[in-house]
Amino acid sequence: MSGPLDGVLVVDLTRALAGPHAAMMLGDLGARVIKVENPGGGDDTRGWGPPFVQPETGDRESTYFLSANRNKESIALDLKDDADREVLTDLLRRADVLLENFRPGTLTRLGFGTDVLAELNPRLITLSISGFGHDGPEGGRAGYDQIAQGEAGLMSLTGPGPDDPQRVGVPIGDLLAGMYGAYGVLAALFERERTGRGQVVRTSLLAAIVGVHAFQGTAWTVAGQVGRPQGNHHPSIAPYGLFRCKDGSVQLSCGSESLWRRLCGEFGLDPEAPGMATNGDRVGNRRRVIELIEDAFAEHPAEELLARLAAAGIPAGKVRTIDEVYTWEQTLSQGLLVDVEHATLGRLRLPGPPLRFFTPGPDGETETTRREHAAPPVLDADGAAIRAEVARDADGAPRRSRTGAPGA
């Protein structure tokens, strides 16, 4: 129940979101994650708010920080202080993974360049996340999510139309870079089992966003077409999007001709009408398709439409608010909320990990998903214990291997 990365030690030098999200993903999978923070205030996101919990006290915590730092320990180290640098050096000698998202070159200036790290610990895997890449003509640029969303083309594809580009409602560039980074770390850990050596994994907000361009990318690279915002409707499939009805709206997706015919049969539309017979025809006449469907939906409330669409086998859904998502029985059934005990805030309910694990057997599957999770730490919560642990190791106490047996 402790997770597939049980025994992996991660040293997390990152702050803000991309790196902390990657580290949290590794922690969710059972790795021990030691978050190294600036003694002067810790991770930047500790101050990002409102909202704060307990803002009237000295123990206030940013909900932003809480979103990206579960299943971690915290130690405050000043990397310009020789004694603290020695603590970090000792941690890196023992670690399996190092995460950093300084601007390119910063870690080298601090005395922990890749050559130094390789000498300290040849098995160390380093994940390095930047804004726009570690080299190239703009490799040194600072990376902030909204700037990256714009520079990497995502905002040009999002919004009601070409004259009103929109950012995605969450910092998706940061989150994707964190996910790609964790994915790279897992691949490097797997390869290390074969080679015995670590390596450096690099990604960036730019790379992560380009990596999810999907059909919009090949529309340009192969067909020479530049994607534009389509609001709440798909650029290559019709009907596929948000449609108004009597008391709100519903979403539906007709990803095949058979689904289009079912929709037409259910609401009395002609599937073979001029400009409607094929998906290509309908994409070319999208406005007319939307008008026809919204006319058919105009006298029907959303719940009735959703029931009819479900009965007809047409994929459909509502647009839920965040509070509705977290009280939805389906969300709860998937383990997407976890209860944790915070050092100053007490019992908290947090969004949970998106992965579940099962072991098949003769009597069916047994879920082995990690059940117990640790709350995000207060600053330096584990500093004394980690320093004592490092000191014991320096005195020659036996270390534990990933199997739990004494050894290197």
In 226-343, the DSSP E strands lie at 240-245, 248-253, 316-317, 337-342
How high is the pLDDT of residue 310?
A: 96
Tell me which DSSP letter residue 400 carries: B
Looking at residue 163, what DSSP letter applies? T
CATH number for the segment(s) 240-317: 3.30.1540.10
Angstrom distance (rounded) from CA 267 to CA 274: 18
Task: Band the pLDDT of 395: cuts 50, 70, 90.
Answer: low
CA 45 to CA 307: how far, in whole Å? Answer: 43
Residue 1 — pLDDT band, cuts 50, 70, 90? low
Its pTM stands at 0.91
- Residues 290 and 92: their CA atoms lie apart, in Å, by 58
Q: Which residues are catalytic?
A: 174
pLDDT in tens, 193-208: 999 999 999 999 999 9
Question: Quick check: 72 and 24 in contact, CB under 8 A?
Answer: yes
**pLDDT attached to residue 396:** 53
Mean predicted confidence (pLDDT) in 261-277: 95
**What is the CA 291 to chain-centroid distance, rounded?**
36
In percent, the amount of the chain with pLDDT more than 70 equals 95
- So what's the pLDDT on residue 59? 73
In whole angstroms, give the CA distance from residue 156 to residue 228: 6
Beta strands in 89-199 (DSSP E): 97-100, 125-130
Q: What is the pLDDT of residues 16-31, one digit of tens each?
A: 999 999 999 999 999 9
pLDDT range class, residue 408, cuts 50, 70, 90: very low
For domain 9-212+338-394, the question of CATH label 3.40.50.10540 is answered with yes
Cis peptide bond prior to 55, omega within 30° of 0: no
In the prediction, which pLDDT does 403 show? 34
Tokens (6 digits) for 54: 């307990």
Query: What is the rounded CA–CA span in Å between residue 356 and residue 258?
Result: 33
| Residues of the chain above pLDDT 90, percent | 88
Integer Cα distance of 25 and 228 in angstroms: 33
Q: Which two tokens stand for residue 285?
A: 């006449």
Average pLDDT, the chain: 93
How confident is the model at residue 174, as a pLDDT? 97
Give the chain's length.
Answer: 408
CA 307, CA 217: separation in Å to the nearest integer? Answer: 36
Instruction: Provide the token pair at 229.
Output: 């915002």
- Measuring CA to CA, how many Å separate 271 from each of 52, 263, 294, 309? 53, 9, 16, 16
Nearest to 20 by CA among 45, 2, 55: 45
Contact 128, 100 (CB under 8 A): yes
The DSSP output letter for 233 is: B
DSSP codes, 306-322: HHHHHHTT--EE----H
Intra-chain end-to-end CA distance of the chain, in Å: 25
Cα–Cα nearest to 16, from 53, 48, 56: 48
- The secondary structure of residue 226, as a DSSP letter, is P
**pLDDT category of residue 149 using cuts at 50, 70 and 90:** very high
Domain boundaries, the chain: 9-212+338-394, 240-317
Rounded CA-CA distance 259/309 in Å is: 10
Report the sign of the C-alpha dihedral through residues 132, 134, 137, 140, in that order: positive
**Which one-letter amino acid corresponds to residue 93?**
R
- Residue-level pLDDT at 140: 83
pLDDT at residue number 394: 64
Q: Between residues 176 and 106, which one has the greater pLDDT?
A: 176
100: pLDDT strictly greater than 70? yes
Task: Report d(CA 189, CA 197) in Å as an integer.
Answer: 9
How does residue 329 score in pLDDT terms, banded at 50, 70 and 90?
Answer: very high
Strands 316-317 and 346-351: what pairing? unpaired
Task: Provide the pLDDT for residue 407.
Answer: 34
pLDDT by residue (tens digit) across 208-260?
999 999 999 999 999 999 999 989 999 999 999 999 999 999 999 999 999 99
Identify the CA nearest to 289 among candidates 305, 269, 307.
269
| Interval 123-142: pLDDT, tens | 999 999 999 999 999 988 88
Could you tell me the two tokens for 146?
A: 């909204």
Residue 289 has pLDDT above 60, yes or no: yes
Q: What is the pLDDT of residue 397?
A: 44
Contact of 126 with 114, CB cutoff 8 Å? yes
In the prediction, which pLDDT does 2 show? Answer: 81
Torsion angle (degrees, nearest 10) of CA 85, 88, 90, 92: -130
